[in-house]
Chain A
Amino acid sequence: MHVPDGFINAPVSAATGVVAAGAIAVSLRGARRELDERTAPLAGLVAAFIFAVQMLNFPVAAGTSGHLLGGALAAILVGPFTGVLCVSVVLLMQGILFADGGLTALGVNITDMAIVTTVVGYAVFRFLVKVLPRKRRSVTVASFAAALLSVPAAAVAFTLIYAVGGTTDVSLGKVATAMIGVHVLIGIGEAAITALTVGAVIAVRPDLVYGARGLEQRLKLRVNGELVDAPPSRPAPVAARTSRRRLWLTGLVTSLVLAGFVSFYANTNPDGLMKVAQDQGIDKKTEKHAAADSPLAGYGVKDITDGRVSKGLAGLIGVGVTVVAGSTVFWAVRRRRTADTSPVGTGV
């Protein structure tokens, strides 16, 4: 779902551009920690992989097929920061080279498809890996859940962006139904493929799966007929505590910024196009929009003629977002508490 130019209005496009730029800046620093000076070639090749795998068709039935979006997969395989970078670069190049997705919509596309999928996917994944028994199967299960949730999460994010800056007055209920409904279905496919792919990688090179570090077993070497312990292959390059805290902070700041501009725009209604339409009497319904306190409330009020369904949906989105935010915070707090005792948590 590459959003073209003109779909989201200019101020919101700019705001999402700022969010995207901020997240990329944080990810650049984070990725250096995940991959050290190997960042450029490895992230570049992983980006090329994501680019290629998006072209790999998974037939569903009767001629229809789906393909991977890859946000959750990237996060699990190479870590959240590198994941954000890889998917962002893929989107950037698709926009510039293939005119796929508008140039002004880059911020929207990156926020939506690179940041939300990766961060949500990775948060869910790490949470489940912590909670489930330390086995390879758990990694597969966690991958499934992570990818499953990451796609509708992106749809929720898109719906929110649309609610604030959509240029067409389609009811939020309808957008949400269409986006989330379709993306739950896509999410199931994404989840199955992601889990199977992570499983396939873990079977051969468990050390490559970023999200499964710490599940490896100590190697034994036979030197001239004698068994000796191998030194640890890599001294876990993850500066665990700082990166977690940073991830948590990033999430928090992003949601604050998002929440901030959502309410700001909802209150002052700077939607120029809407205003013009209103002034010129083209669209009489926008008055309700202007009176709304928050986008969700506003759309709920507006949709009242549509019945309770859309109101319920708006509520559902709110609850969904709260749940995601809540579990992220819970996860972050839990991680911070365990960071001191966990054997992986060796700060460098």
Chain B
Amino acid sequence: MDLVTPVTPSLEVAGLAFAYPDGHQALFGVDFTVGRGERVALLGPNGAGKTTLVLHLNGILTGGAGTVTVAGLPVGKQHMAEIRRRVGIVFQDPDDQLFMPTVREDVAFGPAAAGLKGPELEERVDRALAQVGMGEFKERPPHHLSFGQRRRVAVATVLAMEPEILVLDEPSSNLDPASRRELADILRSLDVTVLMVTHDLPYALELCPRSLVLSEGVIAADGRTAELLSDEELMRAHRLELPFGFDPRSVTMGA
């Protein structure tokens, strides 16, 4: 996998800065680019501004300085609907994402809002649910599912929109090891650009050939995941710590 970005990258972020209304500034000028089809991890300690950055990718937070461009379209008022269809964000808490009474209606929400109806809609729902292996839970209410299942349905709700880039906020948080592996298998099987925001370093190494390190509101490093994780000085400087006994050099990933 090379690091050269294609002509129209899926995502371009330039000079992004933002402060919350209470005066707390979270981003201090962020620049990076994600090419089409890439799987990139955005690493950083708690409070580095990761979630704030994610919320800028589809125009949820605006009003700071800098620009975000998705597949050539600038994020701004005029293209908001299209931007939001192209950027599929899977939020950290699946409860935020699953707001409809049943799994089927939840997954159908996006395509139905886009005008899909009848058998076509059903087909789209079935396909998205099959992609995450949740086909048989179609008629269940979301709050009756386990956390891991809810996260998978959350991914399906976004996949049903057929997005340009899938943005996952802490996809492995609160998952038990089996659910974590299942989600990894699902993500690897998908053919979309992925930006994965996480502080789960082994997960990043497993899934993403390239990583960005966000620290104190700026991109502190950008490179191959394995190399970044092996750079002890960089890791220490940005409060990134590998789990006990985990050595990135000893892991061989196909990527």
Contact = CB atoms under 8 A, between A and B. Distances in A.
Given A41-B99, A228-B65, A230-B63, A221 B22 contact: no
Contact of B19 (A205, A230, A232): A230
Which of the four size classes fits the interface of chain B?
Answer: 10 to 19
A64 interface: no
Contacts of B23: 219
21 contacts: A205-B21, A205-B22, A216-B21, A219-B19, A220-B19, A221-B18, A221-B25, A222-B25, A222-B28, A223-B15, A223-B17, A223-B28, A223-B29, A223-B65, A224-B15, A228-B65, A230-B19, A230-B65, A231-B63, A232-B63, A233-B21
Given A232-B63, A233-B63, A221 B19 contact: yes
B63 A206 contact: no
B248 interface: no
B64 interface: yes
Contact of B22 (A41, A204, A231): A204
Interface in B5-47: 15, 17-19, 21-23, 25, 28-29
Nearest to B96: A41
Nearest to A203: B22
Interface string A189-223: 00000000000000011110000000010011111
A222 B17 contact: yes
- Chain B contact residues, majority secondary structure: strand
Given A41-B99, A230-B63, A233-B63, A221 B21 contact: no
Taking residues whose C-beta sits less than 8 angstroms from the other chain, chain A's interface range is: 10 to 19
Interface of A: 41, 204-207, 216, 219-224, 228, 230-234
B17 A221 contact: yes
A231 B63 CA distance: 6
A213 to B, nearest CB: 11
Interface in B75-113: 99
Contacts of A228: 65
A172 to B, nearest CB: 46
Contacts of B63: 230-234
Scoring A216, A223, A232, A234 by chain B CB atoms within 10 A of each residue's CB, the highest score goes to A223
A234 B29 CA distance: 21
A231 B99 CA distance: 32
Interface-centre pick from A216, A228, A230, A232 (highest chain B CB count, 10 A)? A230
Nearest to B65: A223
A219 B19 CA distance: 8
